[in-house]
């Protein structure tokens, strides 16, 4: 059996952010990441202004993220369009680039990182690896993203009767696509789902879709669903015309709206393992990074026993963003209602501004 004072499971934005803070504080720890090379995660390419502040506190400045600034949000519901400026500039970036920056920063800060290590099972104080090795710890930082690990998996009931699936395709690069999307984050609303589009640092655009299983099942498969949506939504079809050939990435049963409301000594749940905000809010990366920073700060101040108070405080701070995003999602997935209400956003863009502000979370508890 191996042992470490603090064990971080997952090297995405949440785990890497925690590792950076622990390393800078001189707190011994070990980060385990299952991939040997940094890939491109399903979604998470939008970084709000609040998330940029969190990244800056870790030593990663906006210039390092590339040129894809985002200053506006554009909504599509049937033949209706609404657009409004964001409260402050945001950024589009691929997960490959973001995760590479964060892990490199963690390594530079002195973090202990092991890659190519798969965790098969966890408890609040230990992890069993793919080779049968057990690593015990005083504190475990669970940062496995949307991927549940046996022993500490989120409850099946959180997924609902008609669970949501995430689909991702890559668009471009293309000057035409640049002109279509520009410096906006787009949300295309349709029956039982929506698609978000944002440009990235390499000139491509990331199209991430959240769709209920019933809608995908009715279409038959992801390719048929895209064709169906293209026929229904001409503006979305204009973007899909620049799709990069290849497989559609997918993740099943995303428990949008779930929060870890209670905590226990020694277990820090981070990112999607702490709370899952509907992706149309564009704050998934914000929650991941902020939770990693907060958890590390709590551990440095109070050790493993601080985990319970950290989790309860985080759950409280996530209640408003996740709750408001859930209400907006309910509207977005009902075409008739979305088309009726979209003119309000068009004529009073301050509503979009208020919603954008209300669904943010920072690294410092409120």
Q: What is the CATH number of the domain that holds 314?
A: 3.50.50.60
**In this structure, are residues 201 and 67 in contact, taking their beta carbons and an 8 Å threshold?**
yes
Q: What is the pLDDT along the chain (366 residues), one digit of tens a residue?
A: 899 999 999 999 999 999 999 999 999 999 999 999 888 877 778 999 999 999 999 999 999 999 999 999 999 998 899 999 999 999 999 999 999 999 999 999 999 999 999 999 998 889 999 999 999 999 999 999 999 999 999 998 888 899 999 999 999 999 999 999 999 999 999 999 999 999 999 999 999 999 999 999 999 999 999 999 999 999 999 999 999 988 799 988 999 999 999 999 999 999 999 999 999 899 999 999 999 999 999 999 999 999 999 999 999 999 999 999 999 999 999 988 888 888 777 667 777 888 888 999 987 765
Cα–Cα separations (whole angstroms), residue 354 to 89, 212, 359: 15, 27, 9
* 214's tokens: 């019933």
Q: Report if residue 101 sits inside a domain.
A: yes
- Residue 115 and residue 129: Cα distance in Å, rounded? 12
How many folded domains does the chain comprise?
1
* 240's tokens: 């899909």
R_g of the chain computed on alpha carbons: 20
> Which pLDDT value is given to residue 347?
65
- Residue 183 and residue 74: Cα distance in Å, rounded? 10
**In this structure, are residues 228 and 215 in contact, taking their beta carbons and an 8 Å threshold?**
no
> Which pLDDT value is given to residue 246?
84
Q: Report if residue 347 sits inside a domain.
A: no
Other CB atoms within a 10 A radius of the CB of residue 253 amount to 16
Helix, coil or strand: residue 241 = coil
DSSP 248: P
* 260's tokens: 């870890």
Q: Report if residue 221 sits inside a domain.
A: no
Tokens 């169906």, residue? 228
Q: Report if residue 87 sits inside a domain.
A: no
**DSSP states of 1-48 as a string?**
-EEEEEEEE--SHHHHHHHHHHHHTT---EEEES-SS----SS--EE-
Q: At what angle do helices 335-347 and 350-358 cross, to 10 degrees?
A: 110
Q: Report if residue 20 sits inside a domain.
A: yes
Greatest distance between any 2 Cα atoms in the chain? 63
Q: Report if residue 144 sits inside a domain.
A: yes
Query: Taking Cα atoms as reference points, which of 90, 15, 96, 97 lies closest to residue 47?
Result: 90
**Burial of residue 301 (number of CB atoms within 10 Å: 0-12, 13-18, 19+):** exposed
**Burial of residue 159 (number of CB atoms within 10 Å: 0-12, 13-18, 19+):** middle
- Which residue range forms the structural domain that includes residue 314? 2-42+52-62+94-156+256-332
Q: Report if residue 241 sits inside a domain.
A: no
Q: Report if residue 264 sits inside a domain.
A: yes
> Which pLDDT value is given to residue 158?
84
């Amino acid at each position: 059996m191996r042992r470490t004072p603090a064990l971080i499971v997952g090297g995405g934005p949440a785990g890497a952010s925690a590792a950076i803070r622990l390393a800078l504080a001189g707190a011994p720890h070990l980060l385990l990441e299952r991939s040997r090379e940094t890939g491109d995660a399903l979604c998470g390419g939008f970084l709000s202004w609040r998330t940029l502040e969190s990244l800056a506190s870790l030593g990663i400045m906006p210039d390092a993220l590339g040129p894809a600034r985002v200053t506006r949000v554009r909504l599509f519901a049937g033949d209706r369009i609404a657009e409004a400026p964001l409260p402050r500039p945001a950024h589009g970036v691929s997960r490959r680039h973001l995760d590479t920056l964060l892990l490199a920063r963690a390594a530079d800060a002195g973090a202990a990182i092991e890659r190519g290590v798969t965790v098969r099972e966890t408890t609040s104080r230990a992890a069993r690896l793919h080779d049968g090795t057990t690593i015990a710890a005083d504190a475990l930082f669970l940062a496995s993203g949307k991927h549940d690990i046996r022993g500490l998996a989120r409850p099946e009931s959180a997924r609902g009767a008609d669970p949501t699936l995430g689909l991702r395709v890559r668009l471009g690069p293309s000057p035409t696509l640049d002109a279509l999307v520009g410096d906006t984050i787009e949300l295309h609303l349709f029956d039982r789902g929506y698609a978000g589009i944002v440009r990235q640092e390499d000139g491509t655009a990331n199209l991430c879709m959240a769709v209920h299983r019933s809608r995908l099942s009715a279409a038959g498969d992801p390719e048929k669903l895209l064709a169906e949506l293209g026929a229904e939504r001409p503006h979305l079809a204009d973007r899909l015309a620049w799709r990069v050939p290849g497989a559609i990435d997918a993740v099943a049963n995303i428990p949008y709206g779930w929060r870890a409301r209670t905590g226990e000594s020694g277990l820090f749940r981070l990112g999607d393992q702490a709370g899952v905000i509907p992706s149309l809010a564009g704050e998934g990366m914000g929650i991941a990074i902020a939770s990693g920073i907060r958890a590390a700060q709590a551990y440095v101040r109070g050790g493993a026993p601080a985990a319970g108070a950290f989790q309860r405080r985080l759950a409280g701070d996530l209640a408003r963003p996740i709750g408001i995003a859930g209400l907006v999602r309910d509207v977005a997935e009902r075409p008739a209602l979305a088309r009726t209400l979209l003119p309000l956003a068009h004529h009073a863009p301050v509503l979009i501004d208020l919603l954008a502000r209300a669904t943010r979370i920072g690294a410092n508890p409120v």
